[in-house]
Amino acid sequence: MKKKIFLAIFISAALLFSGCTNTSQEDLVEELNAELQSRDNEIAELQSRVQELQAQLEQAQEPEPLPSAGPTQGASLLTTAFEVVELLKTMDMSGVSDYVHPSLGVRFTPYDYVDSQADLVFTATQVAGLAQDNTVYLWGSFDGSGNPINQIYSDYHQSFVYDEDFLNPHMIGINTKIGMGNSLNNVDTAYPNGEFIEFHFTGFDPQYGGMDWRSLKLVFEDVSGSWYLVGIIHGQWTI
């Protein structure tokens, strides 16, 4: 009889323990599922935040729109000239091309006298590529020796366009001739419809008494209220 009672108690305890174990496992599974769901929600929120940050980064990396190229309608002659000189300082010929007269192009003159027959004229498209152009052009003749100025544009630029810091000159003339030498200065007759700005250095070494002056004249013509470049004239003392 005692054996039967003991066996019944053992069976009851076993069943009770088994029920508790199943309940604990179910609770644990529920807890784990809840934890996984919480982690999934956090991951979804983080992914959403990452997408937002990526969108902000892409927007920040987009280049700002460049200002309109070329002369501004209604801008003064002097303002436009300074804009061109600033481009010439860095030999940004693509930028200069935006200012070149759309039909006349721009004429390059190595000394004060403008030779409308011999001086080279380039269109805006041609000017845009001059900095990389390795073509040797005949620009005229060297003063004194009379030897031909056979140079690629980058060399001509350094000798007969921006050979001094014309962005910071000693003097500026608006439709006024400053540098005067033995060479005939015929800018007004060579460009009867043009107006010009002269950027001038009075000299550098006192022993030369001003004979080492330099000038850069930029000649413009008005097109529908905007100034377009038609001439780049380099000036210096000539023999």
Say whether pLDDT at 61 is over 60: no
Say whether pLDDT at 38 is over 60: yes
pLDDT band at 180 (very low <50, low <70, confident <90, very high): confident
Strands 137-141 and 195-201: unpaired
Rounded Cα distance, 47 and 30, in Å: 26
Say whether pLDDT at 69 is over 90: no
Instruction: Give the residue from 69, 50, 109, 60 showing the smallest Cα distance to 230.
Output: 109
Domain boundaries, the chain: 1-62, 77-236
Count Cβ neighbours within 10 Å for each residue of 34-44 and write b for 16 or more, e otherwise. Answer: eeeeeeeeeee
Rounded to an integer, the average pLDDT of 100-108 is: 98
Rounded Cα distance, 83 and 65, in Å: 19
> 180 in helix, strand or coil?
coil
Rounded to an integer, the average pLDDT of 142-152 is: 96
Rounded to an integer, the average pLDDT of 217-238 is: 97
H helices present in 62-145, as ranges: 77-89, 93-97, 124-128
Rounded to an integer, the average pLDDT of 123-143 is: 98
Q: What pLDDT does residue 29 have?
A: 66
H helices present in the chain, as ranges: 2-61, 77-89, 93-97, 124-128, 153-160, 187-190
Give the rounded percent of residues in the chain with a pLDDT score beyond 70. Answer: 79
Question: What's the CATH fold of domain 77-236?
Answer: Nuclear Transport Factor 2; Chain: A, (3.10.450)
pTM: 0.72
Say whether pLDDT at 9 is over 60: no
Rounded Cα distance, 26 and 39, in Å: 20
